Amino acid sequence: MEAVTPPTPPAPGPAGTPASPVPASRIPLVRLTALVFVGGAVGTSARALLEQAFAPEAPAWPWVTFAINLAGSFVLGVLLHVLARAGQDTGWRRDVRVGCGTGILGGFTTYSTFVLEVDRLLRDGQAAVGLLYAVVSVVAGIALAVLGVRAATQVRRPRRVGPGDRDDRDDRDDRGDRVGRVTA
């Protein structure tokens, strides 16, 4: 029979403080999960309030869900492009992507309600409206995500200028075209 060795207690933290009960490798997962949870609660609450305030008469085109999903697609395109331009998906950028993108926008937009609404339209004898709603929602959602990315490319990223560095943006007009600089 093999002897069972009891688990080794965690090593004490800095200056003799007790170690965290959560292993260091799992702390980022816990933080990211919390960001998704809080963001999802915010996004879902906003969507629920809008759907309650502007509830459509059935059977009709589900305008509220349609607008929510399209707005979310556009904002997600902007967000992801801005974050990608800012650097690698680490640190604060990952936190923003997960908290805002997955959490808030994931809770705000809703594929499940979209599918239920398509099903309701089909069952209520509105097959043409249901199919049109499904196709237009997906195509327009992709188009608006692309437009969001394009809109984000038009936003100029602020440049950090240190002492002794020359800021080339001074040589550009409002449209970004180079203009001559008069020097004495």
Q: Residues near 76 by Cβ (< 8 Å), separated by ≥ 6? A: 101, 105, 109, 145, 148
- Provide the pLDDT for residue 184: 46
pLDDT computed for residue 55 by the predictor: 87
pTM (predicted TM-score): 0.71
Of 111, 91, 95, 115, the closest CA to residue 103 belongs to: 95
What is the reported pLDDT for 117?
Answer: 94
CA angle 37/39/41 to nearest 5° reads 70
Low-confidence spans in the chain with pLDDT less than 70: 1-26, 157-184
Residues forming the annotated binding site for Na(+)? 106, 109
pLDDT at 19: 56
Which amino acids are annotated as binding site, given as ranges? 106, 109
Residues in the chain: 184
Tell me, what's the pLDDT at 60? 86
